[in-house]
Amino acid sequence: MENSATHTADHTEHDAARGKRKERVGEVVSVKNAKTIVVETTTRVPHPRFRKIVKQVKRFHAHDESATAKLGDTVLIMESRPISKLKRWRLVSVIKH
């Protein structure tokens, strides 16, 4: 019993560390690479000087091991360790097909 309790505590600490990772929701704009998707996110932020709301579009290369995401899908990605030169994100789930 003690071993399972410590295992559960370790698992909770591990989840807490993962909870600090950034998450983004975006649209898949490319699936041409093997096990990689390109996700485009749009953020609305005020311009630093003029305070007008402008859109910031950013593209993230994300790891998709099983190729579940298709072009045009809305997906949730999470920050991860560096997987390759450009990939620092991984696919968590497909929100909408």
Calpha distance 63→90 (Å, rounded): 4
Helix (H, G, I), strand (E, B) or coil at 17: helix
The model carries a pTM of 0.78
**Radius of gyration of the CA atoms of the chain, in A:** 17
pLDDT of residue 13: 58
Kindly report, residue by residue over 50-70, the tens digit of the pLDDT: 999 999 999 999 999 999 999
DSSP element (H, E) containing 67: none
Q: Are 47 and 17 in contact (CB under 8 A)?
A: no
Q: Are 68 and 47 in contact (CB under 8 A)?
A: no
More confident residue, 72 or 12: 72
Q: Is the pLDDT of residue 7 over 60?
A: no
Kindly report, residue by residue over 70-90, the tens digit of the pLDDT: 999 999 999 999 999 999 999
DSSP structure class, residue 7: H
List domains and CATH numbers for the chain: 22-96 (2.40.50.140)
| The amino acid at 48 | P
